[in-house]
Structure 1
Amino acid sequence: MSDFGQWTGVSVGDAGDMHEDRERCVRAVQAKDARFDGWFFVGVVTTGIYCRPSCPAVPPKPGNMRFYPSAAAAQQAGFRACKRCRPDTTPGSPEWNHRADVVARAMRLIADGVVDREGVPGLAARLGYSTRQIERQLNAELGAGPLALARAQRAQTARLLIETTALPMGDVAFAAGFASIRAFNETVREVFALTPTALRDRVAKGHPPAASGTLSLRLPFRAPLCPDNLFGHLTATAVPGVEEWRDGAFRRTMRLPHGHGIVALRPRPDHVACTLALSDLRDLAIAISRCRWMLDLDADPVAVDDQLRTDPVLAPLVDKAPGRRVPRTVDAPEFAVRAVLGQQVSTAAARTHAGRLVTAYGDPVQDPGGGLTHLFPTPAALAELDPEDLAFPKTRRATLTTLVKALASGEIDLGVGSDWEEARARLAALPGFGPWTIETIAMRALGDPDAFIPTDLGVRTAAASLGLPATPAALTHRAAQWRPWRAYAVQYLWATSDHPINLLPAP
Structure 2
Amino acid sequence: MHADTERCVRAVQSKDARFDGWFFTAVLTTGIYCRPSCPVVPPKPQNMTFYPSAAACQQAGFRACKRCRPDTSPGSPEWNARADAVARAMRLIGDGVVDREGVPGLAARLGYSTRQIERQLRAELGAGPLALARAQRAQTARLLIETTALPMAEIAFAAGFSSVRTFNDTVREVFALSPVELRARAARGGVRPSPTPGVIALRLPYREPLNPSNLFGHLAATGVPGVEEWRDGSYRRTLRLPYGHGVVSLAPATGHIACRLALTDPRDLTIAISRCRRLLDLDADPVAIDDRLRGDPLLRPLVDAAPGRRVPRTVDAAEFAVRAVLGQQVSTAAARTHAARLVRAHGEPVEDPEGGLTHLFPSAEALAGLDPDSLALPRTRRTTLTTLVTALADGALKLGTDSDWEESRARLAALPGFGPWTVEVIAMRALGDPDAFLPTDLGIRRAAAGLGLPPTPAALTAHAAAWRPWRAYAVQYLWATDTHPINHLPD
Any idea what SS the aligned residue of 1:307 has?
Answer: helix
Specify the alignment match of 1:14 in structure 2. Answer: none
Q: Cα deviation per residue 1:305-360 (whole Å; 9 max; x = unaligned)?
A: 00000000000000000000000000000000000000000000000000000000
1:78-97, aligned counterparts within 5 Å? 78-97=61-80
Specify the alignment match of 1:234 in structure 2. Answer: 219
CA distance in 2, matches of 1:62, 1:40: 15
Q: Give the AA of the match of 2:138.
A: A
- Kindly indicate whether the alpha-carbon contact (under 8 Å) linking 1:459 and 1:490 is maintained by their aligned counterparts in 2: yes
Any idea what SS the aligned residue of 1:234 has?
Answer: helix
Specify the alignment match of 1:274 in structure 2. Answer: 259
Structure 2 residue runs without a partner (length 5+): none
Deviation (angstroms), 1:258: 0.3
Q: Give the AA of the match of 1:432.
A: G
CA distance in 1, matches of 2:341, 2:450: 36
CA distance in 1, matches of 2:61, 2:222: 47
- Kindly indicate whether the alpha-carbon contact (under 8 Å) linking 1:50 and 1:82 is maintained by their aligned counterparts in 2: yes
Q: Give the AA of the match of 2:440.
A: T
1:478-493, aligned counterparts within 5 Å? 478-493=463-478
Q: 2:66 aligned with 1:77, yes or no?
A: no
Any idea what SS the aligned residue of 1:178 has?
Answer: coil
Specify the alignment match of 1:186 in structure 2. Answer: 169
Specify the alignment match of 2:393 in structure 1. Answer: 408
- Kindly indicate whether the alpha-carbon contact (under 8 Å) linking 2:24 and 2:35 is maintained by their aligned counterparts in 1: yes
Specify the alignment match of 1:294 in structure 2. Answer: 279
- Kindly indicate whether the alpha-carbon contact (under 8 Å) linking 1:235 and 1:501 is maintained by their aligned counterparts in 2: yes
Specify the alignment match of 1:435 in structure 2. Answer: 420
Specify the alignment match of 1:209 in structure 2. Answer: 193
- Kindly indicate whether the alpha-carbon contact (under 8 Å) linking 1:72 and 1:152 is maintained by their aligned counterparts in 2: yes
Deviation (angstroms), 1:224: 0.4
Could you tell me the TM-score, scaled by structure 1's length? 0.96
CA distance in 2, matches of 1:207, 1:100: 38
Q: Cα deviation per residue 1:397-422 (whole Å; 9 max; x = unaligned)?
A: 00000000101111111101110011
Q: Give the AA of the match of 2:125.
A: L
Q: 2:144 aligned with 1:161, yes or no?
A: yes
CA distance in 1, matches of 2:331, 2:370: 23
Deviation (angstroms), 1:505: 1.2
Deviation (angstroms), 1:23: 1.1
1:33-52, aligned counterparts within 5 Å? 33-52=16-35
CA distance in 2, matches of 1:498, 1:377: 32
1:50-61, aligned counterparts within 5 Å? 50-61=33-44
Specify the alignment match of 1:108 in structure 2. Answer: 91
- Kindly indicate whether the alpha-carbon contact (under 8 Å) linking 2:171 and 2:178 is maintained by their aligned counterparts in 1: yes
Specify the alignment match of 1:123 in structure 2. Answer: 106
- RMSD (Å), alpha carbons: 0.7
Deviation (angstroms), 1:269: 2.0
Q: 2:358 aligned with 1:373, yes or no?
A: yes
Q: Give the AA of the match of 1:498.
A: T
Any idea what SS the aligned residue of 2:21 has?
Answer: coil
Any idea what SS the aligned residue of 2:187 has?
Answer: coil
1:363 to 348, 352, 356: 348
CA distance in 2, matches of 1:217, 1:138: 29
- Kindly indicate whether the alpha-carbon contact (under 8 Å) linking 1:362 and 1:374 is maintained by their aligned counterparts in 2: yes
Deviation (angstroms), 1:208: 3.0
CA distance in 1, matches of 2:44, 2:461: 49
Could you tell me the TM-score, scaled by structure 2's length? 0.99
- Kindly indicate whether the alpha-carbon contact (under 8 Å) linking 1:163 and 1:203 is maintained by their aligned counterparts in 2: yes
Q: 2:51 aligned with 1:68, yes or no?
A: yes
- Kindly indicate whether the alpha-carbon contact (under 8 Å) linking 2:122 and 2:128 is maintained by their aligned counterparts in 1: yes
CA distance in 2, matches of 1:420, 1:459: 22
Any idea what SS the aligned residue of 2:311 has?
Answer: coil
Deviation (angstroms), 1:204: 3.3
Any idea what SS the aligned residue of 2:186 has?
Answer: coil
Deviation (angstroms), 1:27: 0.9
**Identity score, percent:** 79
1:384 to 341, 349, 369: 369
1:444 to 420, 424, 429: 429
Deviation (angstroms), 1:213: 2.6
- Kindly indicate whether the alpha-carbon contact (under 8 Å) linking 2:146 and 2:192 is maintained by their aligned counterparts in 1: no
CA distance in 1, matches of 2:415, 2:310: 29
CA distance in 1, matches of 2:264, 2:342: 24
CA distance in 1, matches of 2:395, 2:266: 27
CA distance in 2, matches of 1:88, 1:412: 35
- Kindly indicate whether the alpha-carbon contact (under 8 Å) linking 1:213 and 1:280 is maintained by their aligned counterparts in 2: no
CA distance in 2, matches of 1:28, 1:42: 10
CA distance in 2, matches of 1:335, 1:130: 31
CA distance in 2, matches of 1:152, 1:208: 24
Any idea what SS the aligned residue of 1:202 has?
Answer: helix
Deviation (angstroms), 1:207: 4.0
Deviation (angstroms), 1:212: 4.6
Any idea what SS the aligned residue of 1:171 has?
Answer: helix
Any idea what SS the aligned residue of 2:2 has?
Answer: helix
Any idea what SS the aligned residue of 2:236 has?
Answer: strand
CA distance in 2, matches of 1:214, 1:470: 50
Q: Taking structure 1 as reference, are residues 150 and 212 closer, same or farther at Cα in structure 2, changes over 3 Å only?
A: farther
Specify the alignment match of 1:5 in structure 2. Answer: none
Q: Give the AA of the match of 1:417.
A: D
Deviation (angstroms), 1:84: 0.4
Q: Cα deviation per residue 1:30-66 (whole Å; 9 max; x = unaligned)?
A: 0000000000000111111000000000001111111
Specify the alignment match of 2:439 in structure 1. Answer: 454
